[in-house]
Amino acid sequence: MSAPLKMCLGCAGLAGVSGAGYLGWRSLPTKESLKSKYQLAVKGFFDDTTTINKKLEALKEESSQPKHPDLQIAKQKKKDKKADEAKSAFEKGCKSIHEESIDSLYFDDFKNYCSFNNGDKIETGKGLVDKDTDFDSSWDGFKQKGEGDLQEGFQDIHKTKGQNVDATWKGKMLTECKRLSTEIFKGEIPNFKEFCTKTAGG
C-alpha cells in the first residue's frame, strides 16, 4: 500500500472518531425541567390570586430565605409595601425558576414559593388541621384502615398506634399533616383529604 493511501486511511479514521464524538455530544439527554416534572403544581399557578398573595406574604417574613435574585427583590418590595412591584418581580422570578432543571439550586424556592403545595389545594370551605383535638373524630376511621389504604407516613403511624386514641397518636398525626401540607402538589392524596382537613374556622 502506498504511503499517500495509508495517510488517507488514517484521515478517515480520525474523521470517524471525531464524528462519533460529535454525535455523542449531540445525543446527551437534556435535564427535565421543574415545570415538566411537577406539571400539576404549576398548572394555573399564576392565575390563582389567593395563592400568589399567600406566597408573597410568606416571602415577606423575616425567616424566608429565597435564593433567586428576583424573589429577593420581591421580598424587599413586599416589605416596602410596593405590592405591584413585588408581584411583578415574584412572577418574573417564578417563571424563570419553572424553566430550571430538577436539580436546580432554586428547587427550594420552587417548592416554597413558586408552586402549589398540598395545603394550597385544600378545597374551598376547608382548612388544615392545626391542633390535637382536630383528630378526636378521626380515630375510628384511622384504626380500621389496612396498611394498603394508607400512604407511607400514615402507615408508620398505624404500625405504632395503641389500642385507644391518645395524645401520642394525635401528635404524630398533626406532625404528618403539617409535613404533607408543605409538600409539592402531585395530585390529590386521599389520606390527606380525609385526616388533615377540617371545616374552615373549626
User: Closest Cα to residue 98, out of 25, 39, 147, 171?
Assistant: 39
Dihedral of the alpha carbons of 101, 102, 108, 111, in degrees to the nearest 10: 110
pLDDT confidence of residue 105: 98
**Poorest-pLDDT segment among 13-17, 144-148, 155-159, 171-175:** 13-17
> Which pTM value belongs to this model?
0.82
pLDDT confidence of residue 147: 86
Residue 83 is classified by DSSP as: H
pLDDT confidence of residue 81: 97
> What does the domain layout of the chain look like in residue ranges?
34-115, 119-199
Q: Where are the beta strands (DSSP E) in the chain?
A: 126-128, 197-199
| pLDDT at residue 47 greater than cutoff 70 | yes
The percentage of residues in the chain with a pLDDT greater than 90, rounded to a whole number, is 81
Q: Quick one: average pLDDT of 91-101?
A: 99
pLDDT confidence of residue 58: 97
Q: Quick one: average pLDDT of 56-72?
A: 98
- Using CB atoms within 10 A of its CB, is residue 143 exposed (0-12), middle (13-18) or buried (19+)? middle
